Amino acid sequence: MPTREEMRSLAEDIVSSYADRVAGIAQIKQAESERKQTEAREIAQRKSDVDVMLKEFDDSHAAMSKELKADLAKVAPALRESEAERKQTEAREIAQRKSDVDVMLKEFDDAHAAMSKELKADLSKVAPAIKQAEGERKRTAIQEIAQCKSDVGTMLKEFDDAHAAMSRELKADLSKVAPAIKQAEGERKRTATQEIAQRKSDVGAMLKEFHEEQAGVRDEWQVLTATLQAQRVGLAVEAKPPVAEAAEIIPETAALSGRVFEYLANHPDGTRLVELEQKFGVARIQIAKIVKSLMDENKVEKRELLYFAI
């Protein structure tokens, strides 16, 4: 049987071991708190980056819309001015032709009145000749009237043809400008749609990768917590030595640490923790502890979710 001193020494060792274990659990809780704070800062930073990206896109979209509206504003006054000039020219031509027709009709009426007056004066002198001349005059007047009507009809037809040609030319000009404007707007919309889809895809990939990493960390932490809890229960029942238990939880070796560092040195673009876990076939908690040890030795640094050899 153990002596009293041996029992006291054993009890002191057990109390000391339990105190060390409590201190270790406190350190783990502090590390978890720091990890949550770091995770919260990373999430806030990524949300800020996404907000900046979306704001840059909105600003770009607004600038493109403003530029397109400015181009349309430049074209519209020219079209309105061209249409106004055409209408003014058309109105002047109509007024001029009406004036010419009025002058021609007035000249014809004056000539007709003069001829009538002259014929009446000579009527008493040469009645038969007058009758014959009157017949000739009527025929000539009818021919002249018909000719004037024909000339007026020709002039009006020429005016209508010119007006139709000007309308066709203006419509052709408008049809040339409209497709270019529609095409530019279509290209702008397609570009904006592609940029939105690409940015949504990039953000989704970033968030998916982040969630996968956090899910892995959470799973490993839950495994670690369950293991520690089981070992605490085991201590209460089986009273295993704490040194042997620590050896079972962290089987870390210098050789594995060297291999991890060599692997990181051969991958200058950075490596994720899950890749190291798959490469060396060990638990993520062990890989994380090795990487943490290398970081403490200033051999490895972490940038976002990637680890780099220094």
Q: 200, 259 in Cβ contact below 8 A?
A: no
The answer to whether position 29 is within a domain reads yes
pLDDT at 58 over 70: yes
Specify the DSSP element, H or E, that contains 308.
strand 306-309
Q: 180, 20 in Cβ contact below 8 A?
A: no
Half-sphere exposure of 258 (CA within 13 A, CB side): 3
pLDDT at 246 over 70: no
The answer to whether position 189 is within a domain reads yes
Stretch among 61-65, 155-159, 230-234, 284-288 having the lowest mean pLDDT: 230-234
- Cα–Cα dist 291/297, whole Å: 10
pLDDT at 120 over 70: yes
CA 270, 271, 273: angle at the middle one, nearest 5?
Answer: 145
247 against 296, higher pLDDT: 296
> What is the separation of C-alpha 73 from the centre of its chain, rounded to a whole number of angstroms?
24
Percent of the chain with pLDDT strictly greater than 70: 83
3-state secondary structure 72-84: HHHHHHHHHHHHH
The answer to whether position 262 is within a domain reads no
User: What is the crossing angle of helices 273-280 and 254-265, to 10°?
Assistant: 120
pLDDT (mean) for 46-62 = 89
pTM, entire model: 0.24
The answer to whether position 218 is within a domain reads yes
Structure tokens at 194: 């592609």
pLDDT at 134 over 80: yes
Mean pLDDT of the chain: 82
Range of the domain at 63: 4-249
The answer to whether position 292 is within a domain reads no
pLDDT at 154 over 60: yes
pLDDT (mean) for 157-181 = 84
Q: What is the pLDDT of residue 234?
A: 56
> What is the separation of C-alpha 98 from the centre of its chain, rounded to a whole number of angstroms?
59
Query: Total domain count for the chain?
Result: 1
Within a 10 A sphere around the Cβ of 93, how many other Cβ atoms?
Answer: 13
Which conformational region is residue 159 in: left (phi greater than 0), alpha (psi within -120 to 50 degrees), or beta?
alpha
pLDDT at 243 over 80: no
- Cα–Cα dist 294/264, whole Å: 11
Name the one residue in this structure whose structure tokens are 């007056």.
117
Q: How confident is the model at residue 253 (pLDDT cuts 50, 70, 90)?
A: low
Q: What radius of gyration do the chain's Cα atoms show?
A: 51
Give the tens place of pLDDT for each residue, 263-293.
999 999 999 999 999 999 988 888 899 999 9
| Residue 303, helix vs strand vs coil | strand
261 against 246, higher pLDDT: 261
Distances in whole angstroms, Cα of residue 168 to Cα of each of 160, 163, 165:
12, 9, 5
pLDDT (mean) for 232-246 = 42
Contacts 24+ apart (CB under 8 A), 7-15: 14/239
The answer to whether position 150 is within a domain reads yes
Burial label for 287, CB within 10 Å (0-12, 13-18, 19+), is buried
- Cα–Cα dist 286/253, whole Å: 10
